[in-house]
Amino acid sequence: MNMDQPSNASDLIDKLEKLHLRGQLRSFRYPSNIEREFFLDLIARGEKELLQQENEDLTILLQRVRSILSPIRKLPNELLLECLMHYLDYGSIYMCGGIPRLACRLCLVCHHFQDLILSCKPIWSSISAEISRFSNVDLENLDEVEDDIHGEEADEKALHMVEPVLPKLLQRSASHPLKVDIYVDSRTPGRLLSKTPIFKLLNSHKSPWKSLCITCEAHITADVLRGICRAMKDIEELEIRYGWLSYSH
């Protein structure tokens, strides 16, 4: 069977009309108003057919994408959350840079992802904080951090937003053991680091600490440890880094 052969009378009429249109357009005779309206209608009909075909192609493509993603939708919550945890862990979780940029953005995928991420205590119990001259940034809650991160300068600023968002992080971590990573900027002005508000918030949290890693200059180590002495009694693992050197206990 010839594929070019019209399948019904309507297709035959349509084909003849298009042939008539080609013939008229190739002639040197100026068309009348009736013929012009007729030709414009044929052109519009052809454009409509193209749009319908594109819409059908997009529908098929969307169905194929959904069929590819359907296994993810069928995954048990435990397995899906494990996949998300590996993604976050691979991206290096920093509570002031990584979590708003990774976990909070995963929450935007769909309501299901959002419910899983917000209910996962291990995500919010891995806390990284940098103590520096930028430590006292005035933000009210974690939700504002994502809106405030734009551009390279804001990325630098976002690394120091742990103090205002820390209560929300601790609230979401609930009683899950904390994994705390603290970096003290060597350019921090001389002051009692043990009085840093971050330490007060961490000490007031009731859950035990699984691990603590401190990166700082050797001469301020004692002051930093005094700031978190209350929480250290329940700690399972302690690591202190001086530049490239590391001491674990």
> In this predicted model, what pLDDT tens digit does every residue of 62-117 receive, in sequence order?
888 777 766 777 778 888 888 887 777 654 444 444 454 577 777 877 788 888 88
6: which DSSP letter? -
What is the model's pLDDT at position 249?
54
pTM, two decimal places:
0.49
CA distance 186 to 175: 32
Domain boundaries, the chain: 9-72, 76-248
SS3 content of the chain, % helix, strand, coil (to 5): 60, 10, 30
Mean pLDDT by 10 residues, the chain (249 residues): 47 62 66 75 80 89 78 79 74 47 75 83 77 46 41 39 65 78 67 69 76 77 77 75 58
CA distance 103 to 117: 7
SS3 at position 102? coil
SS3 at position 154? helix
SS3 at position 108? coil
What is the model's pLDDT at position 190?
54
What is the model's pLDDT at position 161?
47
Cα 203 to Cα 21, 153, 218, 222: the distances in Å are 83, 31, 22, 16
89: which DSSP letter? H
Strands in 245-248's sheet, in edge-to-edge order, are 126-131, 178-184, 209-215, 237-242, 245-248
Number of H helices, E strands in the chain: 12, 5
What is the model's pLDDT at position 34?
79
CA distance 193 to 199: 9
Asked if 25 and 46 count as a contact pair (C-beta separation under 8 A), the reply is no
User: What phi and psi, each to the nearest 5 degrees, are found at residue 175?
Assistant: -95, 10
What is the model's pLDDT at position 8?
53
Asked if 210 and 181 count as a contact pair (C-beta separation under 8 A), the reply is no
Tokens 């991420």, residue located:
117
What is the model's pLDDT at position 89?
63
SS3 at position 130? strand
Amino acid at 30: Y
